[in-house]
Structure 1
Amino acid sequence: METVRAAERELMARLPEGALMQRAAAGLAAACADLLGRVYGSRVVLLVGSGDNGGDALYAGARLARRGAGVTAVLLAKPERTHAEGLAALLRAGGCVAADGAAEEAVERADLVVDGIVGIGGKGGLRPDAEALAGVVERSRAAVVAVDLPSGVEADTGEVRGAALRADLTVTFGTHKPGLLIDPAREYAGSVRLIDIGLDLPPDAELEALQHADVARLLPVPAAESDKYRRGVVGIAAGSARYPGAAVLAVSGALRGGAGAVRYVGPAAEAVIARFPETLVSDQGPAKAGRVQAWVAGPGAGDDAATVAEVLTADVPVLLDADGLRLAGRNAVAGRTAPTLMTPHAGEAAALLGVPREEVEGARLAAVRELAAVYRATVLLKGSTTLVADSGGGAVRVNATGTGWLATAGSGDVLSGLAGSLLAAGLSALDAGSVAAYLHGLAGRFAADGAPVGAHDVAERIPEAWRDVRG
């Protein structure tokens, strides 16, 4: 966040005093008006801390008051520490300050609450007085708009280390803060609206979020002279007598991922061929299966450590998932010269790092970076927001195209096959993981459409997601 603060200081030095805050307040007021629908006669409560977020809330409240809203400010800092000019503007516009002991009643009667308690410098959750008020807000019927980010979340990391206020809408300024993109803080942000206030930010961001156009540029497209082998062949070493379905689902994702052919090695060959007769099946093990441009190892593999170890010796990119993550030793992964893409969920990541699952879930950004560094691999940390970190450092990619309906058995196997196919088609591990997560999330949304789905439904909608991105 120091980058954002520096950009704000540089811009404020070039603008008249207060102009930057007025830009932010104008965007905030417009967003509040959109959420209210009818401003005149509505009841708005501002939760005002001592920082600039409190000033933004006060100036936005003044704009709403001039449009006929009844606006009440609840001051969570002493009056001398409250933004003086913003408070004066609110009072001139007809707003008021809640009397001592009247804050809870004002919140309970409000149509809209504006959270301006803590800004991007806040650490460690809400203070007790603010925490009590947040509880009242949560029990009320009011819609909640957070200024820049919800109070109580960590702007830099997405961690929530104490009580925090949940918003229906977060209005953020200049750039998306990491805490708005990464769980668990993302859950508190609601919808996010970005207001351009003219910040000149450097290109080397800590986080990246690919959009349709970015993904479209990365998708492999066959040339006129392409054949199935030139498009890439992906090998799938997955499944077992107990889990044949994992192999079938990994192959289903791989067939829709851009490679020209899929080779399967493992004990679930009969199930794979029955479902996908176009698959090239071998019973000779990975080394004798034929040439591939990438391997996927681990989904449903059980305790077949020998096959996973054999795949790791291949001089092609390898994706490790599920049992493959458990069976592959750290040295075997870190010592590889070809790219490795690991795709753990939070529980698997915790086991790899030797920490409790709660630690990974509470600090996902730190966890994915540590895994990438320790294993010298690209790591895709699955979750409601997917994080993809490269072993060489640089920006972590964040993907939020998914849906909670993707939390279903076999969904990760489809993702593994899809990402492995993109590896075989020539994408880097970082791009393959990022593009696969993006398409997989879209396919999940298309398949679910608000209802439960199975993993096979997600796989079948990957072509639709692909066309949507290219369109």
Structure 2
Amino acid sequence: MRTAYSVDTVRAAERELMARLPEGALMQRAAAGLAAACAGLLTRRRGRVYGARVVLLVGPGDNGGDALYAGARLARRGAGVTAVPMDPERMHAGGLAALRAAGGRVEQAVPQRADLVVDGLLGIGGRGGLRPAGAALAERIPSGVPVVAVDLPSGVDADTGEVAGPAVTADVTVTFGAYKPGLLIDPGASRAGAPHLVDIGLELPEPELEVLQHADVAQLLPEPTASSDKYRRGVVGIVAGSAQYPGAAVLAVAGALRGGAGAVRYVGPAADAVLARYPETLIGPGRVQAWVIGPGLGEGRAGEVADLLAGDAAVLVDADGLRGLDPAVLRARTAPTLLTPHAGEAAALLGVSRESVEAGRLAAVRRLAERYGATVLLKGSTTLVASAGGRPVRVNPTGTPWLATAGSGDVLSGLAGSLLAAGLSGADAGSVAAYLHGLAARRTAGPLLAHQLAEALPAAWQDTTHP
């Protein structure tokens, strides 16, 4: 499992480690890892480091010091290294001396010929985007030249991924000691390129974020035993679809049938369409371990949502079912509740603009989980799963932009509901479903239809359990 930590947590761990190390040793560890990553990139692109033209964009803090010391290491390997300071009077003295001793030079303008640019303008403590002097340097990065960010692309908020002003877009981000949330959550994640972690020896407590990987998902997926029958494996009920949207019911059932539960029960007006496609579906009310309600439900059916929430089974609420939810009702529930809004639906639940949710996804999903006392899966460019009570937020690492297609969310809801019925917690069901859903999308190259996602789920399941 990959983990990410807040700036305060990382800073505290750095202070604790520095107290036990010789002065400057931690920066040298970071610089060595940064230089190695830059050298590897140069070697892959041009065959060697010797003769490469490297430009360092240097800020006044330790981030700039890391860049200067790394530049000195590259210069000693024969690269031509030029440092361009954001503030010439505030460059890191030790790093500057090391660079000059290795043959590097300082210039006031960004050279327009380069093989690599190193972004050392702002570190993880930066807030609010680049200031004018830094933005002016970032704007002059030559087009097409790869950019390596030091710890975090300058202008990205390390704790949230928010981008509140001008910011650097990197091809690779070399981060030290731990991943930061801003590297994993959009819009910051889209500017980080490929994150590369350098271990500098930090001792860290519980993380802010978790990112599941194949092995984690494989351990969570339900597996039948010799004594299993369809009822012991769990039954998921689907309340979805309407005269206007019968396809939503079909797609939710499709996701549920491939989600690990033993049986799927459908309740709603689209029974004929569901049975025509999936004759194994049970029709009509009955005992279930989890309900999915909302996809294609239409208006005027809030009473059905209220009835399910008053029961003692796990409930996943999506799409039209999210309208008008009462936080007090959800907080009073003892059974698992999973809400799966997209950004627009999350905005309505919070009473804010969609733009504010998309700009601050981590804050939004945490607020939703606390306000409604439920697990929340916030869909979007970075899908996040948060639970009430301060547990680490899960970030989904799979998927493609082609998932932005009609019916994709219906399949996801059915899949997650089936995992709930099989006994997974809300957080596990949501994060495993998002992971498999994203893997299925990757298997369906190019433009995809929602039903193709459901068809690809068994292969995605196999990818995790038999890699």
TM-score range (shorter-chain normalised) is over 0.9
Q: Which residue identity does 1:42 align to in structure 2?
A: A
Name 2:261's counterpart in structure 1.
259
In 1: Cα distance, 2:389 partner to 2:20 partner: 37
Q: Are residue 443 (structure 1) and residue 440 (structure 2) matched? A: yes
Choose which of 358, 361, 367 in structure 1 pairs with 2:358.
361
In 2: Cα distance, 1:433 partner to 1:350 partner: 20
Name 1:286's counterpart in structure 2.
none
Q: Which residue identity does 1:73 align to in structure 2?
A: A
Name 1:241's counterpart in structure 2.
243
Choose which of 302, 307, 311 in structure 2 pairs with 1:305.
302
RMSD: 1.2
Name 2:3's counterpart in structure 1.
none
Moved more, 207-216 or 293-302: 207-216
SS in 1 for 2:395: strand
SS in 2 for 1:125: coil
In 1: Cα distance, 2:76 partner to 2:454 partner: 53
In 1: Cα distance, 2:348 partner to 2:138 partner: 35
Moved more, 457-466 or 331-340: 331-340
In 2: Cα distance, 1:228 partner to 1:21 partner: 58
Partners of 1:50 and 1:76 within 8 A in 2: yes
Partners of 1:47 and 1:115 within 8 A in 2: yes
Name 1:122's counterpart in structure 2.
126
Name 1:392's counterpart in structure 2.
389
SS in 2 for 1:130: helix
Q: Are residue 295 (structure 1) and residue 301 (structure 2) matched? A: no
Choose which of 318, 337, 342 in structure 2 pairs with 1:340.
337
Partners of 2:327 and 2:373 within 8 A in 1: no
SS in 2 for 1:241: coil
User: What percent of counterpart residues are identical?
Assistant: 73
Name 1:157's counterpart in structure 2.
160
Q: Are residue 179 (structure 1) and residue 153 (structure 2) matched? A: no
Partners of 1:125 and 1:162 within 8 A in 2: yes
Partners of 2:336 and 2:374 within 8 A in 1: yes
SS in 2 for 1:157: coil
Q: Following superposition of structure 1 onto structure 2, how do residues 73-88 of structure 1 map, counting pairs within 5 Å?
A: 73-79=83-89, 81-88=90-97
In 2: Cα distance, 1:294 partner to 1:211 partner: 26
Partners of 2:386 and 2:427 within 8 A in 1: yes
Cα deviation for residue 199 of structure 1 reads 0.8
SS in 2 for 1:71: strand
Cα deviation for residue 327 of structure 1 reads 4.9
Q: Which residue identity does 1:232 align to in structure 2?
A: G
In 2: Cα distance, 1:8 partner to 1:34 partner: 26
Name 1:31's counterpart in structure 2.
37
User: What TM-score comes out, normalization by structure 1 length?
Assistant: 0.95
Partners of 1:385 and 1:402 within 8 A in 2: no
Choose which of 218, 223, 226 in structure 1 pairs with 2:225.
223
Instruction: Kindly report structure 1 stretches of 4+ aligned residues shifted beyond 6 Å.
Output: none
Q: Encode CA deviations 1:141-200: one digit per residue, 9 max, x unaligned.
A: 211000000001111111111111110110001110010011111111011011111111
Partners of 1:111 and 1:141 within 8 A in 2: no
Q: Which residue identity does 1:49 align to in structure 2?
A: G
Q: Which residue identity does 2:121 align to in structure 1?
A: I
Name 2:18's counterpart in structure 1.
12
In 2: Cα distance, 1:440 partner to 1:301 partner: 22
Choose which of 420, 430, 437 in structure 1 pairs with 2:417.
420
Name 1:285's counterpart in structure 2.
none
Equivalent pairs counted in the alignment come to 455
Moved more, 400-409 or 321-330: 321-330
Cα deviation for residue 13 of structure 1 reads 1.6
Choose which of 127, 135, 150 in structure 2 pairs with 1:147.
150
Name 2:203's counterpart in structure 1.
200
Cα deviation for residue 232 of structure 1 reads 0.0
Choose which of 440, 455, 464 in structure 1 pairs with 2:459.
464
Partners of 2:293 and 2:321 within 8 A in 1: yes
SS in 2 for 1:109: coil
Q: Are residue 432 (structure 1) and residue 429 (structure 2) matched? A: yes
In 2: Cα distance, 1:323 partner to 1:331 partner: 19
